[in-house]
Chain A
Amino acid sequence: MAGAALAVVPFLRLPAFYESFLYLVLHWIVLATSWNILSGYSGYFSFGHGAFYGVGVYTTAVLAGSYDVPFLWTLPAAALIAALLGVALGAVVFRVRRVRGELFALLTLAVTFVLATIVINTPIDGGPGVYLSSVRVPVLAPTASGSFYMMALALAVVTLVIARAIPRARLGVGLFAIHDDEDAAEVMGVPTYRYKLAALGASSALAGVAGGIQALFVSYVTANGTFNITVPLTVILMSVLGGTRHWAGPALGATVITLLLYASTAADQAVIGKAVTGAILVAAVLFMPDGILEMLRAKIAARRRPANIAPATPSRPADHASREPLEKRSSDLQRAGAAVENPGDEVAATAAGSGLAAAATSQPATAARLRSAAAARSAPTAARPALVVGTPLLAVRGLRKSFKGVRALDGVDLDVFAGEILGVLGPNGSGKSTLINVVSGHYRADAGSVAFAGHELAELPAHRIARAGIARTYQVPRPFAHLTVRDNVALTAMFGGAALARPQADEAAAQWLAFTGLHARAQDLPGALNLHQTKFLELARALAARPRLLMLDEVLSGLTPSEIDEAVELIRRIRDQGTTILLVEHVLRVVTALSDRVVVLDQGRVLAQGTAAEVMARHDVAFAYLGVVHA
């Protein structure tokens, strides 16, 4: 709409100077916004935007200048070749996990200089530069400068529409997740490699078109004037000034900076203008490091807050009250110091200590599920009860993983059967977390196989594993810091096993937040949550993926006893919904209370497996486990 209104400008017969100036504003809006599509959204700061822009410049210069291709036809070619370059570069660079942050910035800058050298030394340019003065400017407006304005306007509108659409689509959510924590994003099902390629492709294509138009606008192009560090630094400056997390931020920054540069050149004060621009950049970085838009948003939010504070404060889950008596009762239980039969209450209190094999409770509600395990508990003398029958959901065979010569997993075999809770115990460094990291694809196994529902996972990228129906939590919660609590959960609903579309994912997120008692915090950022809530967010996120297998990595560490009871209750409810659970946990009483079976790892190997009571009664287990940690 605004674009249509602005299209009237050339017919106002303004002096060509103004039209050219407006053209420049639009030109920089396109460059900055296109840069932001990859770099702002995903956090991969490219210093190579000049390369894609330059490829566009030279595509048009060569096609129109040397081969007399009509100018407008050169623009799609510029887009295509720039995009090809971007995708080819990305296809190499994005495979190397290490090249992130400043290394990515440097690499893209180096690519720019390599391209410049090639252009100078080949017939593409040859050294002296390319003239386009004989190329006809397409007539889109009464004047030539008006025509440039119209072209830039059209491109700017397209660019902004794309930049605006991405954050609302899966692609954008995925890119934002990559920005915050790429490895976690991949494990939650975001196809990070493909998304980065797509963003880089779109970003470079748009920059290529902008370059093509600019080639004709300046009508004389040189390699040194094109492939330099000024273009990337300028677009970074514009985007950071405006705000990189919002689609309109770079456009705002581009307008401000171009105006400033114009104001100084117009006043014949280029030197002062440059100094002022520099000073503004310094001030912007120091006083509003998140950009103008973010600062405004924070200000507005701060003004609204007083009205909102009342509903936003309940920090405990809303159904907390109803659980209060249960907590009380369970702590009474603890004080009683004995395992008590307590029908009607879903608390299983299991004995620990040397009498680990002592009696435990079984509850009517869960008795059916616990069949075999409960049987084993009530008859501790049974040598080796048939624990679970059927084919395993997850079958791990001969799994090995070493880090710098330390064997974290040294030939692990284990099965997880559908519908069970398998507890994994072991002292620090026994390989529990590594097991989860390898199964979820966070690390690649050195050897061995991981079969999930009959399909081999060991060679798959992590996002495919997530899609297949495996979700996990991290021992140290890794929420996406810049996504709201709701978006954190919606992300896994979109990218995990459930694979929902955005609107459904939002609904699912609301549902899982209610399930974990976090619904009041849906619009907060994860940083505002306390540890207990962050752990529950981690859970909600894993659940929203609707996994068939849920791997919990010490979800309870750091929680207080009453919070642990709450979490135990929650884990039970999760299993009751039909999810199989692999539970790595330090808090012994939780493992004994929850697990149908227990596997003990020690020094990267399976030391024992069986029911909790059985396993705990073994002396070697007690030594390996309790020798270090007393619980």
Chain B
Amino acid sequence: MTLPSATLLAQSALSGVFIGSLYGLLGLGLSLSWGLLHVINLAHFGLAFLAAYVCYQLASVGGVDPLLTLVLIIPMFFMLGVAMQWLLARFAVSPLNSLLATFGLTAIIEAGIQGVWTADFRKLESVYAGQKFRIGELFVPVPELIALVLAFALSFGIWGAMRYTDLGRAMRALAEDAPVAAAFGIDRRAHALMLSGVCGALAGIAGVCLALSFTLTPAQMYAWVGVVFAAVMLGGLGSALGPLAAGIVIGVSEAVTMVFLSPSWAPIVSFTLLIALLLLRPGRS
């Protein structure tokens, strides 16, 4: 086996960072709803794909700039998130049952997408597609860069909000001891609805990023479940920066594995990492 060149290694590490930040972006909403709302939201993937198809429709058919579709997608998916939380809260669903119920929702969304757009492959053709620029020896693809910027901005933004705003602190207080938080005047129901709305909006944004970089087919949504869950768990439930950091670690290690072995070996890195960490990580949870 010949050693790959430094450029190839750097280029693949870079692509690992890109895919990793997409893992992080998808994981962000999942982590928040799992850690703070105790809802393990499989439908997050369904919502992201739905957003990707909406973006595809508006951009490919309607000719709108894909990034402009966010103006519609963010409020729309915020409302979907709110509606979902309203339903789950109404029935006081346990975390495990929330996983099952949202799996059902995912199936409904998948069927809906299939009904409207069929199971055929769809690729968003936009001004961004295929665009790239060079930095030194390395190529930087624009769609992936957009995803990366959004992932960093949102992760850090939410991290800051959790830490430095009363709203964010209220969310964390509710997650730890909701009755006591309520005793200090924090409205549990309203905050849960809002947070779920934010998670929905995050799914929408992640979906637009998916549409920018990937060919879409409905069943593809399940392919993301394993690795994004791994990123969320590694990053820590309820953490805003954790999924991004863990996502990039996973993405880079996958990409580097692809260079040294073959692309088909990539998953073993992330999942072995996950297993090892679950077994060996000291303390906590």
Contacts and interface: CB of A to CB of B under 8 A. Distances in A.
A96 interface: yes
Given A106-B278, A278-B107, A285-B100, A120 B264 contact: yes
Contacts of B266: 117
Interface stretch (A107-115, A342-350, A453-461): A107-115
B233 A285 contact: no
Interface in A90-134: 92-93, 96, 98-99, 102-103, 106-107, 109-111, 113-114, 116-118, 120-121, 127
B268 A114 contact: yes
Contacts of B95: 102
Contact of B264 (A127, A274, A281): A127
B106 interface: yes
B156 interface: no
B41 to A, nearest CB: 13
Given A102-B95, A103-B278, A113-B226, A286 B101 contact: yes
Contact of A240 (B100, B106, B225, B267): B100
Given A281-B100, A281-B103, A286-B91, A272 B111 contact: yes
Contacts of A279: 104, 108
Contact of A236 (B100, B225, B233, B281): B100
Interface stretch (B127-135, B171-179, B269-277): B269-277
B124 interface: no
Interface residues of A, number: 43
B229 interface: yes
B161 interface: no
Interface stretch (A53-61, A227-235, A306-314): A227-235
Interface residues of B, number: 44
21 contacts: A98-B284, A102-B96, A106-B229, A106-B278, A113-B268, A116-B267, A117-B268, A121-B262, A229-B225, A233-B103, A274-B108, A275-B112, A277-B104, A278-B103, A278-B109, A281-B100, A281-B101, A281-B104, A285-B101, A286-B87, A289-B93
Contacts of A152: none
Contacts of B246: none
Interface in A227-256: 228-230, 233, 236-237, 240
Given A275-B112, A281-B107, A107 B101 contact: no
A195 to B, nearest CB: 20
A304 to B, nearest CB: 27
A99 B285 CA distance: 9
A285 B100 CA distance: 7
Contact of A113 (B91, B114, B267): B267
A481 to B, nearest CB: 14
B4 interface: no
A277 B275 contact: no
Interface string B80-111: 00000001000101111100110111111111
Nearest to B113: A271
Interface string B198-227: 000000000000000000000000100110
A543 B267 CA distance: 53
A280 interface: yes
Interface string A512-548: 0000000000000000000000000000000000000
Contacts of A275: 107-108, 111-112, 115
A118 B269 CA distance: 11
Contact of A102 (B40, B225, B274): B40
Nearest to A103: B278
A79 B248 CA distance: 39
B104 A110 contact: no
Contacts of A228: 222
Contacts, number: 124
Contacts of B3: none
A110 B111 contact: no
A278 B268 contact: no
B279 interface: yes
Contacts of A116: 267
Shortest 8 CB-CB contacts between residues of A and residues of B: A278-B107, A281-B104, A275-B111, A282-B104, A278-B108, A274-B111, A285-B101, A110-B271
The residue among B104, B225, B230, B281 with the most chain A CB atoms within 10 A of its own CB is B104
A159 to B, nearest CB: 23
Interface in B163-186: none
B265 interface: yes
A416 B100 CA distance: 51
Contacts of A274: 107-108, 110-111, 114
A21 B115 CA distance: 25
A45 interface: yes
Nearest to B104: A281
B278 A282 contact: no
A286 B229 contact: no
Contacts of B100: 236-237, 240, 281, 285
A107 B94 contact: no
Contacts of B278: 96, 99, 103, 106-107, 110
A117 B108 contact: no
B271 A113 contact: yes
A114 B271 contact: yes
A278 B271 contact: no
B158 to A, nearest CB: 22
A285 B104 contact: yes
Contacts of B281: 98
Given A281-B107, A286-B101, A271 B114 contact: yes
Nearest to B118: A271
Nearest to A108: B275
A186 to B, nearest CB: 20
A107 B275 CA distance: 6
Contacts of B107: 274-275, 277-278, 281
A553 to B, nearest CB: 25
B93 A286 contact: yes
Contacts of A107: 274-275, 278-279
Interface in A257-286: 271-275, 277-282, 285-286
Contact of A121 (B110, B230, B265): B265
A38 B275 CA distance: 20
A415 B108 CA distance: 65
Interface string B219-255: 0001001100110010000000000000000000000
